[in-house]
Structure 1
Amino acid sequence: MPFSKQVNLKLAWYRKLTVPQFTVLTGLLLIFSCTVLLATPLCSSAEVGIWESFFTATSAVTVTGLTIIDIGKDLTIYGQILLACMLLIGGLGLMAITTFLQGFVVSGTELRTRLDRGKTLDEFGVGGVGRTFRGIALTAFVLIAIGACILFYFGFTDISNLGERAWASIFHSISAYNNAGFGLWSNSMQSYRSNWVVNGVVILLVLLGGLGWRVTSDIWTNRKNLHFRRLSLHTRLVIRTSVFLICLGTFGLFLTESIEKGAFFFTINWHERFLTSLFASISARTAGFTSMPISIETISDSGLLLLMTLMFIGASPGGTGGGIKTTTIAALMAATRSTLRGQDNVVIRHRQISDKVVLKAVGITVGSLLFVLIMALLISMANGFGGQDNFSFLEILFTCISAFATVGFDLGVTQHLSGIGQFILVLGMFVGRLGILLLLSAIWQALNRGGIKDQNRIGYPHEDLYV
């Protein structure tokens, strides 16, 4: 057999990969490659081993923010630059980038595969590859640059060294827009709690990054004659849900900590309480920055429960954040309302929502909830082994939701977990960023090759089920 033909046969397995499988594989290769680079002496100190690099690389690619090292001290300037690049890759959309690469790697794909690729991009909120992807990258660059300039000239003015101030502005602007939550300081943004410029820039970048390309593109297209009713249903639903969650989190956290006498809130004045509540409410939806110490000693149980709810919901489809997404929870609420009204169809703003969308929303929510509970169960079972501290179930569940929703909030649990517990968090970050349905689809397609077409041709009798 000719050598060229042997090589083609060896590479033929690439062409058989579906979009979910290709995305999972590319994500793993990216994490492993960055792990090796991050572990080199050029990028990190001697205290950072291969495991610390692997955990940090996974957290960066999935734009989570959980870390077991001190970014500002344990990473060199080259390591921090590499980390910023990983945040850009993960934040701009791992799925969009891998699908873009698949067009070059998988040559000679069939029409069904190309349609599958386009469908996956559309579900992610990108809607295309070439010109649209360039638009995404350009939008990100402009917003990050503007945010960095404002932080440099008006925000981080307490940093006297201009080089350090410039890098701090660029790094935190990248981290904020990509909803990553990584910071160069161990206390995150707590030193700038009362700084309205820093808070405002970070909040705006987090919101713009979390809204998603579909929303920002729709607003930009209608900019000359912008009216709320002229926007698409998706855009209006994302904006309404986001505003509701921001208000719920801000006033909810303000009330819970004021009524239940949260230890930290009673050490700051009223305007700082409001700004801190607003910052935490927005950051909880996958950003991960903190302007106050987060622990069971400083925040009440009600406040932690509210933060867990916001983390689990997360950002919007096509955005840089995680969670089950705002449109998912909106579809579930609309389905609940239709059920209470006795309606046969789900209607939102005088538009009928297909059953497929509702089923997908149910699948995402149930699958995500089960996965988080399994994570908490496994870590709880391992609690007490391998030098772990005796954490409460609330602390463990909070950390699991933070990892799965790619938030990065930490109650001081992550660094003290054993290798098994940290690996469970790594798995949760990876699954949460890619999406529970995409990962299950990749596994299902690998185990059932050729069986999907046959199943689609089978019809089954109907029967009622009482619920």
Structure 2
Amino acid sequence: MSLTSTPWNALKTWRQRLTVPQFTVVTGALVIAVGTVLLASPLCSTDDVGLWQALFTVTSAITVTGLSIIDVSRDLTPLGQLTLAGLIITGGLGLMAITTFLQGFVQGNSGLRQRLDKGRALDEFGVGGIGPTFNSILITGFCVMGIGTVVLYAFGFTDIANPLERFWASLFHCISAYNNAGFGLWGDNLVRYRDNPVVNGVIASMIVVGGIGWRVINDLWTNRARLQGLRRLSLHTRLVLRSTALLIVFGALGLMFTEQFAAGGVIENLQWWQDIQVTLFQSISARTAGFNTVPLSIKTFSDAGLLLLIVLMFIGASPGGTGGGIKTTTFATLMGATRSTLQGREEVVIHRRQIPDTVVLRAVGVVMASAIFVILMALLLGIGPTTSGEPTRTTFNFLEKLFTCMSAFGTVGLDLGVTAQLNRWGQLVLMVGMFVGRLGILLLLSAIYGSRPQPRVGYPREEIYI
């Protein structure tokens, strides 16, 4: 009795001592493991999909990235495609929210400290309950995806004659777009719908709404009768909306400039309205969505355009959204800190609100840790041969490697044709990058090091030269 109960008690004790970050990492790994076995089964995939292909695909789906080494329409059965959509929802509607909700059943008691810990895991302010937050995420997500599905079915994918196939295409792409996953049912992604304004508009809208986060949507809905007074909105909402709009416009204008003068560029021979539609869509998609309506490679995009896409991928979506990256608010905080420094201020002020020093330090930490991690990924990708040996190309330049690593870490999914040609070492590096990027670099460090008490010892101040 004691022999069998001791390991069980030890496991139970270990499970109850898990912090929210550690529980999130463990739960995410378990979901990926279960999903891999399921997707590799004959019911979900063909013989071309083994455990490794299934593992990479499930990791990409749970982290809502969209990088793929299989053809979804050819290699997955209808049940496999449905499973993939379920995995995208699981990861997109909040892996953190779901694991935090489940932790209440695992750990039982939940005092003030645990509730604060859960709130931080959900990017939540204050001590709000997890149940209402979880419900809000689900209700908002399913309502938006439902509306998008109806519009795509009625006015978007009208070239698909079979009603059932058209409905599934509409639903799948709305799920993928709202969750910023970037998975498509066709090998060319959405290139065939480059000139379709309905498909472009609906998918782009899904990406933006999913990227800004449920908290912003809830704030807008709560103050919907008084939206003429933007000051009634929270600083977080105003910052997210303004940053998102500026990044979309900046990205579109930047791509229009870099690609218009690139020899053989993707928009060189397009009409002006096509130029606007393509650059707007790619500017929106580059910040963690991963859809593309034009071929994406080093031959179709200029180096300057690819570098611009890397910057957009690094910034990513907003806190509480379905995307990755360092987040728009982190970028805005650093810009505010830079402006305050140039103006000679000792505090960071954004929209007539002073930002706490702890928030500024956290933003600096996120950016530095994320940049170092992506560089480390690129270095690891350059160790030894990186291709599988089957494709015609045998080497990739540094820009291709950096672009692919940033796409994985930012959970974007844009691909220059590199991912499927990598060997297993290279694909393993990308899988780790996707997992870390979805959880967040600070959450991962918290899971590794745990929570440490604040030191009570003060140290003398001394100036250094900057």
Question: Under a length normalisation based on structure 1, what TM-score does the superposition of the two structures give?
Answer: 0.95
Contact 2:404 2:414 in 1 (8 A): yes
Contact 2:149 2:171 in 1 (8 A): yes
Shift of the alpha carbon at 1:460?
2.3
Q: Does 2:411 correspond to 1:409?
A: no
* Alignment partners' CA distance in 2, 1:225 and 1:311: 33
1:458 aligned partner = 457
Q: Which moved more, 1:149-158 or 1:100-109?
A: 100-109
- Match 1:428 to one of 426, 429, 433: 433
1:283 aligned partner = 285
* Alignment partners' CA distance in 2, 1:235 and 1:127: 18
1:170 aligned partner = 171
Shift of the alpha carbon at 1:5?
6.5
Contact 1:136 1:213 in 2 (8 A): yes
Contact 2:348 2:355 in 1 (8 A): yes
> Residue 346 of structure 1 aligns to which amino acid in structure 2?
V
SS in 1 for 2:414: coil
* Alignment partners' CA distance in 1, 2:463 and 2:377: 34
Aligned pairs for 1:240-389 within 5 A: 240-384=242-386, 386-387=388-389, 389=394
* Alignment partners' CA distance in 2, 1:95 and 1:18: 12
Deviations along 1:383-404, whole A, 9 cap, x unmatched? 4565372100000000000000
2:70 aligned partner = 69
Contact 1:406 1:429 in 2 (8 A): yes
Q: Does 2:187 correspond to 1:182?
A: no
Shift of the alpha carbon at 1:330?
0.3
Deviations along 1:362-409, whole A, 9 cap, x unmatched? 000000000000000111123456537210000000000000000000
Change (3 A) 1:212 1:128: farther
* Alignment partners' CA distance in 2, 1:127 and 1:322: 24
Change (3 A) 1:261 1:128: farther
Contact 1:39 1:49 in 2 (8 A): yes
* Alignment partners' CA distance in 2, 1:181 and 1:262: 26
Contact 1:177 1:209 in 2 (8 A): yes
1:42 aligned partner = 43
Deviations along 1:433-453, whole A, 9 cap, x unmatched? 0000110111112xxx8xx23
> Residue 186 of structure 2 aligns to which amino acid in structure 1?
W
Shift of the alpha carbon at 1:3?
8.5
* Alignment partners' CA distance in 2, 1:384 and 1:76: 30
SS in 1 for 2:458: coil
Q: CA RMSD in A?
A: 1.8
Change (3 A) 1:371 1:16: same
Change (3 A) 1:386 1:159: closer
Contact 2:314 2:406 in 1 (8 A): yes
> Residue 242 of structure 1 aligns to which amino acid in structure 2?
T
Contact 2:136 2:214 in 1 (8 A): no
> Residue 52 of structure 2 aligns to which amino acid in structure 1?
W
* Alignment partners' CA distance in 2, 1:170 and 1:295: 28
SS in 1 for 2:354: strand
Q: Which moved more, 1:3-12 or 1:54-63?
A: 3-12
* Alignment partners' CA distance in 2, 1:409 and 1:339: 35
Contact 1:315 1:325 in 2 (8 A): yes
* Alignment partners' CA distance in 2, 1:130 and 1:181: 29
SS in 1 for 2:349: strand
Question: Under a length normalisation based on structure 2, what TM-score does the superposition of the two structures give?
Answer: 0.95
SS in 1 for 2:287: coil
Contact 1:144 1:173 in 2 (8 A): yes
1:112 aligned partner = 113
1:154 aligned partner = 155
Change (3 A) 1:199 1:386: closer
Deviations along 1:272-319, whole A, 9 cap, x unmatched? 111000000000000100000010100111111111111110010000
* Alignment partners' CA distance in 2, 1:63 and 1:288: 10
* Alignment partners' CA distance in 1, 2:127 and 2:275: 37
Shift of the alpha carbon at 1:112?
2.6
Contact 1:125 1:318 in 2 (8 A): no
* Alignment partners' CA distance in 2, 1:35 and 1:125: 37
* Alignment partners' CA distance in 2, 1:384 and 1:361: 33
Change (3 A) 1:158 1:349: same
Deviations along 1:129-159, whole A, 9 cap, x unmatched? 2122112111111111110111111100000
Contact 1:56 1:68 in 2 (8 A): yes
Shift of the alpha carbon at 1:121?
2.2
> Residue 88 of structure 1 aligns to which amino acid in structure 2?
I
1:130 aligned partner = 131
Deviations along 1:408-461, whole A, 9 cap, x unmatched? 00001000111000000000000000000110111112xxx8xx23x5223222
Shift of the alpha carbon at 1:9?
4.2
* Alignment partners' CA distance in 2, 1:142 and 1:82: 20
Change (3 A) 1:40 1:126: farther
Q: Which moved more, 1:112-121 or 1:228-237?
A: 112-121
Shift of the alpha carbon at 1:246?
0.5
SS in 2 for 1:429: helix
Shift of the alpha carbon at 1:230?
1.3
Change (3 A) 1:287 1:385: closer
SS in 1 for 2:33: helix
Q: Does 2:216 correspond to 1:215?
A: yes
* Alignment partners' CA distance in 2, 1:31 and 1:246: 32
Shift of the alpha carbon at 1:128?
3.7
Aligned pairs for 1:79-118 within 5 A: 79-118=80-119
SS in 2 for 1:24: helix
Aligned pairs for 1:193-208 within 5 A: 193-208=194-209
Shift of the alpha carbon at 1:179?
0.5
* Alignment partners' CA distance in 1, 2:141 and 2:126: 15
> Residue 435 of structure 1 aligns to which amino acid in structure 2?
G
Equivalent residue pairs, number: 461
